[in-house]
Chains A and B, each alone.
Chain A
Amino acid sequence: KAGVTQTPRYLIKTRGQQVTLSCSPISGHRSVSWYQQTPGQGLQFLFEYFSETQRNKGNFPGRFSGRQFSNSRSEMNVSTLELGDSALYLCASSFNRGNTGELFFGEGSRLTVL
């Protein structure tokens, strides 16, 4: 069974640009969550999607948005990038709604904002 796939793995952007990251969950998993990981803050919850609906949202500004498609694939978008958005963005999938069980993480997308 293929794991969670995130693309791209690495990307460099400049301030003010926008970025879209993609996540393909494990087949059969309907919940996709996104986390931001930085050295100082650790893993911070961004949002969770289940059956194409955003169910939970973390404490991030509106520049951070996401969506989920009917095949459970998910994308997240960050607009008007700031230097502080440089981070590892991790996607995790699970079978059930929410994060009430084991999460399966992808390898992450490393974003550098210059």
Chain B
Amino acid sequence: SQKIEQNSEALNIQEGKTATLTCNYTNYSPAYLQWYRQDPGRGPVFLLLIRENEKEKRKERLKVTFDTTLKQSLFHITASQPADSATYLCAADQTGANNLFFGTGTRLTVIP
């Protein structure tokens, strides 16, 4: 069955470093991937969308890559700050279902 996996449940990183989060998908080829940020007790907030024909997308300190050979998306936050601490969710379209489905998220903590 189609699957989206975020391998790291939690990631701790020193302030100023680059945080890299991984999203893998199996048993299908999504047309696009999305990344969301979720703070405790809040709803997810959209960050970036990348399509299968795009290798890389950037927005300020954020960068997303999409590698269809490795079946993987990487999400990078450069010059990380404590305010970047949150859970980051990867989501992909589901073939034939016209809906998004989500990974379980990676909780990022940026240590001052």
Nearest chain A CB to B40's CB is how many angstroms away?
11
Q: How far is the CB of B74 from chain A (nearest CB, A)?
A: 19
Which residues of the partner chain A approach B104 to less than 8 Å between Cβ atoms?
Answer: 41-42
Tell whether, in the assembled complex, residue A99 and residue B99 are in contact, meaning their CB atoms are under 8 Å apart. Answer: yes
The B-contacting residues of A in range 71-114, CB under 8 angstroms, are 90, 92, 97-108, 110
Which residue of the partner chain B has the closest CB to A99?
Answer: B100
| CB-CB under 8 A for A98 and B89, given A107-B43, A108-B43 | no
What residues of chain B lie closer than 8 Å to A55, measured between beta carbons?
A: 98
Query: B34–A48 contact, CB under 8 A?
Result: no
Contact A45 B101 (CB under 8 A): yes
**A interface residue numbers (CB < 8 A to B):** 4, 33, 35, 41-43, 45, 48, 55-56, 58, 90, 92, 97-108, 110
Tell me whether A56 and B97 are in contact (CB under 8 A).
yes
Given contacts A41-B104, A42-B105, contact A104 B46 (CB under 8 A): yes
Known A-B contacts A43-B89, A101-B49, A102-B49; A33 and B99 likewise in contact (beta carbons under 8 Å):
yes
CA distance A47 to B49 in the complex (A): 22
Once bound together, how far apart are the Cα atoms of A48 and B41, in whole Å?
23
The 3 closest A-B pairs by CB, nearest first: A105-B43, A42-B104, A99-B100
Interface string of B68-112 (1 = CB under 8 A from A): 000000000000000000000101010001111111110000000
CB of B44 within 8 A of chain A? yes
B29 to chain A, nearest CB (A): 15
Given A100-B93, A101-B49, answer yes or no on A45-B42 (Cβ-Cβ < 8 Å).
Answer: no
Judge whether B45 is part of the interface by a CB distance below 8 angstroms: yes
